[in-house]
Structure 1
Amino acid sequence: MSVTDILVDFAIASFFIAVGQLLRAKVPLVQKFFIPPSMIAGFIALALGAQGLGILPFSENIGSYASVLIILIFAGVGINGFSFNKKDFKAEIDRIGSYFSYKVLAQAIQFSLAPLFSILVISKLFPNINYGFGLLLAAGFSGGHGTAAAVGTAFERLGDLDAMDIAMTCATVGILSGIFGGLFFIKLGTKKGWTKYMKGFNQISDDLRCGLVPKNERKSMGEETISSNVLDPLAWHLAVMLIASGIGVGLSKGIYAAIGLDLPNYLMAFLTAIVMFLVFRKVGVGDYIDENVVGRISGTATDYLVFFGIASIKLAVIVKYAAPLALLLLCGIVIVVATLMFFGPAMNRGSWFERAIFVFGYSTGVFAIGFILLRIVDPENRSKTLNDTAFAAPFTTPAEMFAWSMGPMMLLNGSHWKFIGIYLVIMAACIIANIVFKWWWLKLPLDRPGVEEIG
């Protein structure tokens, strides 16, 4: 594959992403269901590509882009680092603590119950299914297309050559479940009085519907921390992210060559970026890193990853695994609905629905889906969901990274019960902690007050 082939592939992707945005802006049906333009573009390209009509001149390697883009995305997460606000934590420990526990449980329940169901049920009905099959559901649902690409790549390196397509399918179904399921529960919530900050869909802003921001409501994408006369600020931020990505890939290869431990490239890029963040903050370089610019680069990589992830799905693999995949996806949907409707009100006191619907969206796709659902029901973040999510992120990330990096090896190499056991213990610990600290509010009415009314 030549450099020109890469350019052509991304040019085609860009054209269809632009078409997807145009459809989002002009077609009411698309607006009604909040379908992301990159997902629309991916489905069109899938139909017109090698798996469909075969009229798009894609190179043979478009399936490899996702595993490369995810390295850049995780590097961006690490470069942006984390922060703590001890004062808010002390003043609002009940709200933050219970939400943190709920968010961890939402992840642990997928990491444990989906593989458990796969091993005990699916692998018995379909003996050719390996014990890692269930983790592909969690990678797609809880992780989105980016993590699906990373975990799929890890499975492929361990010999499961169909894993990437299955993971991408799970991620696609997950996002659709998040969008359609989220809208269903929001409509139900408005009728039942669960929502505290909206009364109906007529309150949704136009920029959420069509994706176009009016002139008087536009915000800056970021600050110019480097003089453009010396170096373009975008080039500076991209350079920092690419440095972390390159070092991460080099470390991954070096560790494998030295001791045979096959750590994912994206994990090492993330860890490298975290180290860079800490060093930058210490020496003052962090003052010249703008989180919004890094976030925009990561967001761009994510949109292209979603496109290539869907466009490169091998339909023959999906047909091959249709029955076990259908069972696995049904299991995943049951898990996320139970997490929303049972644990949501049990583990969140004020504004339980707003906080739980965000986690529902986050647990079926990506942060953006959760954010869209939250903006519909709580456009001003009065439930403080985003604040608490930012606080919880540094503590929930290790549990995620362990699952994505060690899960494939443990599930395929005979340590499956140990892996499942770890997350069953975490899940049980979350429930026990909430009961012990009296953060268990299942008996309260579902139309209870919002966060600011409880205090």
Structure 2
Amino acid sequence: MSANVIGFSLLLIGLVMLISKIIRVKWRFAQRLFIPSSIIGGALVLLLGPDVFGRLMSALGTDRFAESGIFTEGILTVWSSLPGLLISMIFAALFLGHRLPTLKQAFHVAGPQISFGMALGSGQYVLGLLLAFLVLGPVFGMPIISGTLIEIGFEGGHGTAAGMAETFAEFGFPEGQDLALGLATIGILSGVVVGIILINWGVRTGKTTQLKEKGNLSVAEQAGLVEKDNRKSAGTLTVQPASIEPLTLHFGLIATAVLIGWIILESLRWIEQQLWADSIEIIAFVPLFPVAMIGGIIVQIAIQTFDKHDIVDRQLVERIQGVSLDVLIVAALGTLSLLAIAANFWPFVLLAVTGLAWALFAFIVIARHVMPDYWFERAIADVGQSLGVTSTGLILLRVADPDLKTPAYPAFGYKQLVLEPFFGGGLITAGSIPLIVGFGAGWFFAGMLALFIGSLAAGFLYFGKKKSPKPAV
């Protein structure tokens, strides 16, 4: 693979993103559904690739585009490799620039949120594995690890699904990545659509505490633009550009976190090979990105300890994360295999419907009983994040609580600090398939069921019983 092909592939993604943003600004339907430009870009690449444009041209009598659509095989090869690289950067940056709270602080503010979020994540495993035990395996002949797809696709999102490509392949289920990416797409779209429907229902029935009427979003906000009077800096210059470009400095911190994660992972793999690899292997199949997150925590601890000048700017870190995630989604969706989804269409539908039904049930039935206050605003962010990505949850929270007056936003942030190391691409997500294969699906199911019951018990019997400063609506 030449450097020119790699460079041109990246430039082409930039062009796709620009075109998709223009479509997002002009297309009212996409605005109403808050569809991210990266999803539009990924869909464009997918339509112009071999599974759509290539097959259409073959049906019209020419096989010229059958292998790679309007692109080249080299470009598609580069794009298919990008998600696995970028997801490590995204996870390494999760905690950089965030002062890590004490356990007491996190528990006090976000305890109900942690309980609800843990129930959402573990519930996806419980329902997914039940589906695999009872239907996907016996009826469709799918492997038992297909029961992990709901959590990987919905809670984990495109990055996690793409990052686990090698794990799926190692355990003989390569189509699992395509199914997980498809579920991630369904999740992020339905997360916004279902979320907006729920918010409108909440407004009509008086369950929201901050939003009392429709139409709070301006035309510019619906188009994904920031009005001139409301614009603010995307980052702060914490160092002189003459010494080092601030963006370069922050990229270096993220790169350091990834490298620390790589060293930790390789060390753990070496230990496993020396001690127990002959009987069982688990760490050998764990991808880099959840351990890169641990590297990010180590870097953040060092920053909090030694950085006396506050040179780390969270906004710049988020910009690097945002670019990485946009490119990742375009590349992952653009190289998605529609044939794999078509070959497993009914299992895919069952997984998607089960995941959506669980999210709706958790929001409508469970949330109000485990949140001591502002249950609607707290839960809408969690449900959006459990179906799509963190940004989906934040979008819905911003719609339901435009001025962020409720405790939902800080509670959601603390919950992410506690749960991200485990669910939604964390250690449990990354280790779920190796653990199922190594110890048996029954043991993993029992563990998730115990965690699920424990989370609900904590929510119903402890957090839900606490007196709130302002009664929930």
Question: TM-score of the superposition, structure 1-length normalised?
Answer: 0.91
- Equivalent in the alignment of 1:246: 259
CA distance in 2, matches of 1:397, 1:315: 30
Distance 1:82-1:281 versus aligned 2 partners, 3 A rule: closer
Deviation at 1:111, TM superposition (A): 2.5
Deviation at 1:391, TM superposition (A): 2.2
- Equivalent in the alignment of 1:56: 71
- Equivalent in the alignment of 1:419: 444
CA distance in 2, matches of 1:264, 1:163: 15
SS at match of 1:143: helix
CA distance in 1, matches of 2:167, 2:144: 14
Q: Quick check: 1:382–1:452 contact (8 Å CA) kept in 2?
A: no
CA distance in 1, matches of 2:463, 2:162: 39
CA distance in 1, matches of 2:369, 2:93: 34
Q: 1:157 aligns with which of 170, 178, 191?
A: 170
CA distance in 2, matches of 1:426, 1:210: 41
Q: Quick check: 2:168–2:176 contact (8 Å CA) kept in 1?
A: yes
- Equivalent in the alignment of 1:83: 100
Q: Which amino acid aligns with 1:421?
A: A
Question: TM-score of the superposition, structure 2-length normalised?
Answer: 0.88
CA distance in 1, matches of 2:150, 2:156: 9
Q: Quick check: 2:259–2:295 contact (8 Å CA) kept in 1?
A: no
CA distance in 1, matches of 2:351, 2:422: 22
Q: 1:138 aligns with which of 151, 167, 189?
A: 151
* Structure 1 unaligned residues grouped into runs of 5+: 442-449
Deviation at 1:199, TM superposition (A): 2.9
- Equivalent in the alignment of 2:185: 172
Distance 1:85-1:273 versus aligned 2 partners, 3 A rule: closer
CA distance in 1, matches of 2:111, 2:259: 37
* Structure 2 unaligned residues grouped into runs of 5+: 54-68, 274-282
- Equivalent in the alignment of 1:349: 372
Higher mean alpha-carbon deviation, 5-14 vs 249-258, is at 249-258
CA distance in 2, matches of 1:344, 1:390: 18
SS at match of 1:56: coil
Deviation at 1:242, TM superposition (A): 1.3
Q: Quick check: 1:118–1:328 contact (8 Å CA) kept in 2?
A: no
Q: Quick check: 1:70–1:305 contact (8 Å CA) kept in 2?
A: yes
Q: 2:342 aligns with which of 313, 316, 319?
A: 319
Higher mean alpha-carbon deviation, 267-276 vs 312-321, is at 267-276
Runs of 4 or more, structure 1, over 4 Å off, are 85-90, 450-455
Per-residue CA deviation, residues 398-444 of structure 1 (Å, 9 max, x unaligned), is: 43223222201012334212222122111111222233326159xxx
Q: 2:129 aligns with which of 115, 131, 138?
A: 115
- Equivalent in the alignment of 1:446: none
Distance 1:414-1:56 versus aligned 2 partners, 3 A rule: same
Q: Which amino acid aligns with 2:136?
A: I
Q: Which amino acid aligns with 1:402?
A: L
CA distance in 2, matches of 1:433, 1:255: 34
Give runs of aligned pairs for residues 291-302 of structure 1, distance below 5 A: 291-302=314-325
Give runs of aligned pairs for residues 329-408 of structure 1, distance below 5 A: 329-400=352-423, 401-408=426-433
Deviation at 1:52, TM superposition (A): 2.1
Q: Quick check: 2:220–2:226 contact (8 Å CA) kept in 1?
A: yes
Deviation at 1:150, TM superposition (A): 2.2
CA distance in 2, matches of 1:65, 1:343: 38
- Equivalent in the alignment of 1:444: none
Per-residue CA deviation, residues 325-346 of structure 1 (Å, 9 max, x unaligned), is: 1111111111111111111112
Q: Quick check: 2:17–2:37 contact (8 Å CA) kept in 1?
A: yes
SS at match of 1:38: helix
| Residues matched between the structures, number | 444
Per-residue CA deviation, residues 74-107 of structure 1 (Å, 9 max, x unaligned), is: 11114345532789779xx4x7432321122111
Give runs of aligned pairs for residues 300-315 of structure 1, distance below 5 A: 300-315=323-338
Distance 1:421-1:82 versus aligned 2 partners, 3 A rule: farther
Deviation at 1:116, TM superposition (A): 2.4
Q: Which amino acid aligns with 2:433?
A: P
Q: 1:439 aligns with which of 464, 467, 471?
A: 464
Distance 1:150-1:119 versus aligned 2 partners, 3 A rule: farther
Q: Quick check: 1:108–1:427 contact (8 Å CA) kept in 2?
A: yes
Q: Quick check: 1:383–1:451 contact (8 Å CA) kept in 2?
A: no
Q: Which amino acid aligns with 1:345?
A: R
SS at match of 1:132: helix
Deviation at 1:29, TM superposition (A): 1.6
Give runs of aligned pairs for residues 127-276 of structure 1, distance below 5 A: 127=141, 129-260=142-273, 261-262=283-284, 263-276=286-299
Q: Quick check: 1:142–1:362 contact (8 Å CA) kept in 2?
A: yes
Query: RMSD of aligned C-alpha atoms?
Result: 2.4
